[in-house]
Amino acid sequence: MTKNFLEINNVTFAASAKSKVNNVSLTIENEGDIICLLGPSGIGKTTILRTIAGLEKIQSGKILLKDKIISSKDIHVEPENRNISLAFQDNSLFPHYNVIQNIEFGAERNTKKKKNLTIDEVIKFLHLDHVKDKFPHQISSGEAQRVSLARALLSKPDLLLLDEPLSNVDQSFKEEIQVKLKEILTDLKITTIIVTHDSYEAFYLGSKCGIILDSQLKQYDDPYNVYHFPNSIEVVNFLNRGILVPAKVTGENSLENDDLGTITGNFIKHYPKGSEVQLLLQPEDLEHDDKSNLKFEVVDRRFRGTNFIYTLKTGSNKLIPIFVHSHHIHQHEVDEKFGIKRPINIDHIVCF
Amino acid sequence: MGKKINIWYISSFLISIAVAIPIVTVFSSFFETTGNYSSIIKDTFLYDYIFNSLTLLIGVLILTFIIGVGCSYLVSFYSFPGANFFKWALILSFAVPAYIYAYSLTAFFENYGTAFSILKNLFGEGNYNAHIPKFDGKMGAIISISFSLFGYVYVLTRASFHYQSQNLIELGKNLGFSKKKSFFKIILPSARPAIVAGLSLVAMETLSDFGSVSFFGISTLTTGIYNAWISFDDLALANRLSFYLLIFILGLFILENLSRKKAQYHTPSKGGFKSKSLTVLKGYKATLALTFCATVFFISFLFPVLQMLYWTIIFPKHLADLKLMELFLNTILLVFLSSIILITLAFISNYGNRVSKSKFLEILTTFSISGYAIPGIILAVAFITFVSWFDNNVVNFFGFNTIKSIFIGSVFGLVIVYFVRFYSLASNGIKSGYLKINYSIDESAYLLGYSKFRTFKEIHIPYLKNSMLLIGILISIEIIKELPITLIMRPFNFETLATTAYIFASQDLLEAAAAPSLFLILIASFFIIITSRYILKD
């Protein structure tokens, strides 16, 4: 029984000076776990995957897979000997073989593994039936991405690395593929690291999410905590899920904001009374109330299907987002006044 | 993966070093002392060599520019009777080496030549010789070389015109440009890098031409090198002259490379490209376009073929005396051996560079492929110089028997020099094939458990097999036509079609040179026809 399935200990990932992530430490505890790495473009997420796959070397720290060092300053197991699969973001299909032949390359590997996944099953769930006899140049980038995913999946590696696996896939069956992908990965117990810029995809697929910002792994936690309890202003800004407003701590469970007045709730971190803090306001923290006398001007309204996101301008010129269910009885136009329910109570108060 | 010294790295390194040896020999010769002939040359012929080389160069560049750009413009932008035929037929001129063109030109226009016979048959006896123009000397060489080489300008310019987007043409119309103004302001400038690249190749080939200038008795740097070595036995001087010529050619080589890099800016993006609609020419304009292309096709290809065919038929004795099968087999043997060696080693070297990702190897390879810019005659001389030096200093030192006979005057030595001369053709061909394979494809193979050798064997070779075939054929065409290297390096009594034609022509037996010349053109044409689709595309 191994301690951790994958361990990355204090590794600096660097393909170039620009794409560098320093001193990363993270673990995947169990075989079959799925983790996601989120971060802006060009930050070095792909470099992390390439290094784990053995396509880049490391100068410090070490990477262990099933308790065996695969990368360190002195040890470098060649990629072909790691049993790690990487589905690249761009087209990495063999151009002179058709789709089915490309997929078969994956199936040739690890044929002895117990649980079997057939080529037909994969082709069906990835909607590749209609292109299986075509060559890579004859299919769309979304289809190529799915073929690459199919090939990687069928190789049934110890560790599967997916680089933006569904970024070019049509929205119409993206969710369906996400569901099926998660099911297959869990069923076959394929440990997976997924790099994505889509936070919803990461929150759905990953049992843990890593946020990479400013050349660092800023937060590595389960998706709920990453979303609700971001550990830094940078993570808040990256997830773009709220704004920070100035507030003053007035008690064990309350604080005061110039525009919103008293806000109550549970602090996730203790601040002494009288502290000046930055309060994270997420769109779902406030509620709409037409009868409220706390009103702000609507400066923008975005329709998001299930809800509207209104952006309100406060007296001190702060812009606050607020969700309203799209079945709400009426809509508010820009420049109209918009009421906010009082008293304001936020379940968990995040401050910096 | 970081660079690593492995078997692929070492192979690529050794191949590049082998190719670079003759080049280094030429450069090092600059510091050697030369014989008395050196000062004689300096005082007498050197000026002539340089002047003649330059006049030849300027004349050829002007003529190839007019013919090459003119033809490619017509077939790329207009539709007229025969346009589709001329598109590929014009590249048949590659099958006619300049020296065979020179034989045809002389055979037709000389006193009592073919032109005289035609006039006599048509109009009876007369003093036609006085009125038939004589294309000999520099004029003859300029015409011969131009019609044999304009294909470079034609093919590259046509490719550039072909990929010019309709958007560009429409932009001109939108700005209210006339056809003439569009041509000079938009079309020509955007094809400029391709034209410069074509002209640079023509310039390099012109400066290294040996067959036609020696036939017309023009003293150029190339014939100077040959004479310094053959007539005056001064290898050091031959190398010194080679060095001067090499500097000049390397300048052109750099110019060509720079312009080719710029050419990438003119490659259309996948999304914005709109293919051109051709302007249909009618009436006298169609006739003019047809006449221009037909004349170029006739002069560049049909004329030498017909002239050689005519003499082969009217002098059947020469054909009967010719050991045609032997010449053919010798030629094919050289083609086969060289192609196999060149492609195999170029493939290994390119894969070595790809796997090791070493900057040093890249630089070494770039240096070694400059062998193409070096005239064959220089390479042959440099190779002999190196073998002699190695034999005298290394082999003798260890007390072994001389190795000269293994390398000089042998098929083995000949193939080695071909290898150096045409290595860039093979290497660049493989490299451009490799550029189409994204590196992530290799990485995918490694991640599927494929070793480097297995990736090479099962992924790269099947993918690049068409490129290899094409490169093989292009090398074959060059080797079939190659003259100076074969002439200098061939074993005693070993003749090819090219050397036989040259030997007869140099003995003033043009009619005997006709049959081997004709067969040489036909074999080269065969290879060109089967690859024309690829040549025009790439």
pLDDT digits (tens), chain B, 538 positions = 444 667 888 888 888 888 888 778 777 766 766 666 666 667 677 788 888 988 999 999 999 999 999 999 999 888 999 998 998 899 899 899 998 899 889 888 888 888 888 888 888 887 888 888 888 789 999 999 999 999 889 988 887 887 766 666 777 777 777 777 777 777 787 788 788 878 888 888 888 888 889 889 898 888 888 777 777 777 777 777 777 777 777 777 677 667 655 544 444 444 444 556 778 888 899 999 999 999 999 999 999 999 999 989 988 887 778 888 899 999 999 999 999 999 999 989 888 888 888 888 888 887 777 666 677 877 888 888 888 888 888 877 777 777 777 888 889 999 999 988 888 888 888 888 888 788 888 999 998 889 888 999 988 988 888 788 878 888 888 899 888 889 888 888 889 999 998 888 888 888 888 899 999 999 999 988 887 776 665 4
Q: From CA A339, how far away is CA A299, in angstroms rounded?
A: 14
CB-CB under 8 Å, B446 with A109: no
Residues of A in contact with B462 (CB under 8 A): 96
- Residue B35 DSSP label: -
pLDDT tens-digit map of B307-317: 999 989 988 88
Per-position DSSP letters for B307-350, written without gaps between them: HHHHHHHH-HHHHHHS-HHHHHHHHHHHHHHHHHHHHHHHHHHH
Cα B36 to Cα B33, B326, B389: the distances in Å are 10, 42, 21
How distant is the Cα of B17 from the closest Cα of chain A, in angstroms? 29
Which B-chain residues 146-175 have CB contacts (< 8 A) with chain A? none
* Helix axes B221-230 and B376-390, enclosed angle (nearest 10): 30
Q: From CA B519, how far away is CA B498, in angstroms rounded?
A: 10
Q: From CA A8, how far away is CA A178, in angstroms rounded?
A: 26
Provide the pLDDT for residue A110. 64
> What percent of chain A lies above the pLDDT cut of 90?
35
CB-CB under 8 Å, A91 with B438: yes
Phi-psi region of A231 (alpha: psi -120 to 50; beta: other; left: phi over 0): alpha
Provide the pLDDT for residue B271. 42
Provide the pLDDT for residue B415. 92
Please report the domains of chain B, with CATH numbers, ordered by start residue.
11-537 (1.10.3720.10)
Q: From CA B78, how far away is CA B67, in angstroms rounded?
A: 16
How distant is the Cα of B439 from the closest Cα of chain A, in angstroms? 8
The mean pLDDT value for A120-128 works out to 89
Residues of B in contact with A109 (CB under 8 A): 448-449
Q: SS3 string of chain A?
A: CCCCCEEEEEEEEECCCCCEEEEEEEEECCCCCEEEEECCCCCCHHHHHHHHHCCCCCCCCEEEECCEEEEECCCECCHHHCCEEEECCCCCCCCCCCHHHHHHHHHCCCCCCCCCCCHHHHHHHCCCHHHCCCCHHHCCHHHHHHHHHHHHHHCCCCEEEEECCCCCCCHHHHHHHHHHHHHHHHHCCCEEEEEECCHHHHHHHCCEEEEEECCEEEEEECHHHHHHCCCCHHHHHHHCCCEEEEEEEEECCEEEECCCEEEEEEECCCCCCCCEEEEEECCCCCCECCCCCCEEEEEEEEECCCEEEEEEECCCCCEEEEEEECCCCCCCCCCCEEEECCCEEEEEECEC
pLDDT tens-digit map of A175-186: 888 888 898 888
- Residue B79 DSSP label: E
Residues of A in contact with B459 (CB under 8 A): 94
Angle at A67 (CA atoms; ends A61, A71), nearest 5 degrees? 35
Quote the ipTM score: 0.75
Q: Which two tokens stand for residue A7?
A: 């361990």
Provide the pLDDT for residue B483. 86
Is there a contact between B409 and B492 (Cβ–Cβ < 8 Å)?
Answer: yes
B459 part of contact set with chain A, CB < 8 Å: yes
CB-CB under 8 Å, A92 with B444: yes
A104 part of contact set with chain B, CB < 8 Å: no
CB-CB under 8 Å, A93 with B463: no
Residues of B in contact with A105 (CB under 8 A): 445, 448
Burial B164-183 (b: 16+ CB within 10 A, else e): bbeebbeebeeeebeeeebe
Cβ neighbours, 10 Å, residue B393: 9
How distant is the Cα of B5 from the closest Cα of chain A, in angstroms? 14
Helix (H, G, I), strand (E, B) or coil at B280: strand
How distant is the Cα of B281 from the closest Cα of chain A, in angstroms? 36
Q: From CA B435, how far away is CA B428, in angstroms rounded?
A: 10
B438 part of contact set with chain A, CB < 8 Å: yes
- Mean per-residue pLDDT over chain A, rounded: 88
* DSSP H/E element including B279: strand B279-280
Query: Which of A98, A105, A153 has the highest number of chain B CBs within 10 A, making it the mutation to test binding with B?
Result: A105
Range list of H helices, B374-509: 376-390, 404-407, 411-435, 439-447, 452-455, 461-481, 484-489, 497-506
- Residue B277 DSSP label: P
Helix (H, G, I), strand (E, B) or coil at B534: helix
Query: Which of A55, A83, A135 has the highest number of chain B CBs within 10 A, making it the mutation to test binding with B?
Result: A55
Q: Which two tokens stand for residue B49?
A: 């060599």
Q: From CA A205, how far away is CA A162, in angstroms rounded?
A: 12
Provide the pLDDT for residue B371. 65
Residues of A in contact with B444 (CB under 8 A): 86, 88, 92-94, 148, 151
CB-CB under 8 Å, B437 with A95: yes
CB-CB under 8 Å, A94 with B459: yes
Q: From CA A316, how far away is CA A335, in angstroms rounded?
A: 16
Backbone φ, ψ for residue B175 (5° rounding): -85, 5
Provide the pLDDT for residue B2. 45
Provide the pLDDT for residue B299. 92
How distant is the Cα of B49 from the closest Cα of chain A, in angstroms? 52
Side-chain-side CA neighbours of A70 within 13 Å: the count stands at: 25
Provide the pLDDT for residue A268. 85
Residue listed under structure tokens 């074509």: B198
B444 part of contact set with chain A, CB < 8 Å: yes
Q: Which of B104, B115, B139 lies closest to B299 in space, CA to CA?
A: B104
Provide the pLDDT for residue B270. 42
Is there a contact between B83 and B74 (Cβ–Cβ < 8 Å)?
Answer: yes
Q: How confident is the model at residue A125 (pLDDT cuts 50, 70, 90)?
A: confident
**Nearest C-alpha in A relative to B461:** A96
Helix (H, G, I), strand (E, B) or coil at B78: strand
Please report the domains of chain A, with CATH numbers, ordered by start residue.
6-235 (3.40.50.300), 242-349 (2.40.50.140)
Query: Which of B434, B448, B459 has the highest number of chain A CBs within 10 A, making it the mutation to test binding with A?
Result: B448
Which B-chain residues 260-319 have CB contacts (< 8 A) with chain A? none
Q: From CA A119, how far away is CA A115, in angstroms rounded?
A: 13
Kindly compute the dihedral angle of the four CA atoms of residues B487, B492, B496, B497, in this order, to the nearest 10 degrees: 80
